[in-house]
Structure 1
């Protein structure tokens, strides 16, 4: 199968279940909202080593937010409900409450259950906190130096899907980089999906386990390393490919991940120099979701 002359491999991305929250961070200006959202989603690329997977989902204009101010929707994910509860409390408390003029609202409509995050944070008000109703939401108003910090009392979480992915294989590194950036921009338009790695792009694709060292749970994916294609017998990189980038996607459900993969791949295939689109999987040993690349189109 080909799209714009780019080969779409007969392969699948192996995704797995994760638990996710989806929240809206608003502020007095779009710039301040973006700063707070970025801080709250930091150190959140992969649960292999990070305490959560996190990223910015989409921008929401003032006309669509509960408090009539600009905001960004973010997602925070973890495989453990207990750890996700902790991460939500820490990231809102340390990264958003501390940011100028912010407020935080729950944005998950179909939650499996809820965390009492805002209820816990209200005690920072030392007895001066107040309870408000904004757009039918229970909000805690916490006095801080710059005014009042507003946080919804409860935040929903649900079973979601992590690890959707595809590899962009290009003639050169720069052509692959351009294609990856174009793909990430396209995915940004899919609500309910995030690309948690830096700039949405993965430079260091990994595999489960390690061939040489038994103390590592994950290590470099040597079959997809451009500098090893002449050293590794099982390399999956063509001779004419010198640029490889992976895009990893988390979503509120499988449909969101599939749509993000579809839009990202289609966008990447418009860039000159892109030769092939592939995907990463672990032979069915990691996750229950097997998203066939060719079935997306």
Structure 2
């Protein structure tokens, strides 16, 4: 059976996803521009491949959905599932909260993770009050009030973490950069209000591969799929006429959320003129704990 969506061919392949650990957090602020600054600033720079963290904005929420009655944003911060993941998560949360949220005027931070596992924010964030911070119960939650020069920063003391699925992905083979940007933007936009998922890179322009000539610097370009190398290397896998291949990388609180998000991306991209093929990236099954087959998600979520 020919695999396609809206007449666009879909490669019969799979994406390779990984077990990861995430913390789902709720930021609130007095004004929208401050909220966006904190949400996007604290989740920028994906760096899990370097043993650090990555994040993304899941969705923005109304004042009716927040503890303190102010507008909010739900974000996710992810680390790799390793033996010392809790130490890494503690360090990374502290870094991103203190440098990306606390320093933005009027912000507050609350737990939004449904889990029995928690990190004590008093250790990695609360103590930046230099001993002048104090604990109270506000909005039915235990919070730490940290005095700062602008006024104060309020953070819920116990921030949850849980296990999820990281690195789900889809690829769009496009006839031009313009088509690639349109398809990528449509995919990211379609996921903005989907529960439980983030796109840590939004439109990712540079997929990588595990083998490299320079292991000391980490992952390098996936040269098989670089359009500018077609005709210059004998093993190019870029089809004729393809000028750009964007990737959408998806993390989700469970594999069902990732699968649904992948299908949504494929479906919306298939409607963009200039998208000639849909696919996904993997590492030959060598690295990830999960294989998500495009054929399976099309059968499950397609009409």
TM-score of the two chains, using structure 1 as the length reference: 0.93
Name the counterpart of 1:31.
33
Name the counterpart of 2:156.
152
Conservation of the 8 A alpha-carbon contact between 1:209 and 1:217: no
Cα gap change, 1:172 to 1:121, in 2 (>3 Å): closer
Conservation of the 8 A alpha-carbon contact between 1:112 and 1:159: no
Matched, 1:95 2:117: no
Matched, 1:52 2:56: no
Name the counterpart of 1:121.
125
Name the counterpart of 1:76.
77
1:105-143 Cα deviation digits (max 9, x unpaired)? 01001x251110145433333444332223321111122
Mapping for residues 14-25 of structure 1, pairs under 5 Å: 14-25=16-27
Q: How far off is 1:235 after superposition?
A: 2.4
Mapping for residues 1-297 of structure 1, pairs under 5 Å: 1-43=3-45, 45-49=46-50, 51-79=52-80, 80-109=85-114, 111=115, 113-118=117-122, 120-197=124-201, 200-210=202-212, 212-213=213-214, 215-297=216-298
Conservation of the 8 A alpha-carbon contact between 1:224 and 1:237: yes
Conservation of the 8 A alpha-carbon contact between 1:115 and 1:155: yes
> How far apart, in 1, do the equivalents of 2:116 and 2:205 lie?
34
1:26-84 Cα deviation digits (max 9, x unpaired)? 100121111011121122x2422372111111101111001100111111111122111
Conservation of the 8 A alpha-carbon contact between 2:58 and 2:197: yes
Cα gap change, 1:217 to 1:149, in 2 (>3 Å): closer
Name the counterpart of 2:301.
none
Aligned to 2:284, what secondary structure does the other structure show?
coil
Q: Unaligned regions of 5+ residues in structure 1, if any?
A: none
RMSD over equivalenced CA pairs, Å: 1.6
Cα gap change, 1:214 to 1:122, in 2 (>3 Å): closer
Aligned to 2:18, what secondary structure does the other structure show?
strand
Aligned to 1:243, what secondary structure does the other structure show?
coil
> How far apart, in 1, do the equivalents of 2:147 and 2:218 lie?
45
Conservation of the 8 A alpha-carbon contact between 2:5 and 2:266: no
Cα gap change, 1:28 to 1:215, in 2 (>3 Å): closer
Conservation of the 8 A alpha-carbon contact between 2:91 and 2:124: no
Q: How far off is 1:176 after superposition?
A: 1.3
TM-score of the two chains, using structure 2 as the length reference: 0.91
Q: How far off is 1:167 after superposition?
A: 0.6
Conservation of the 8 A alpha-carbon contact between 1:46 and 1:196: no
Aligned to 1:22, what secondary structure does the other structure show?
strand
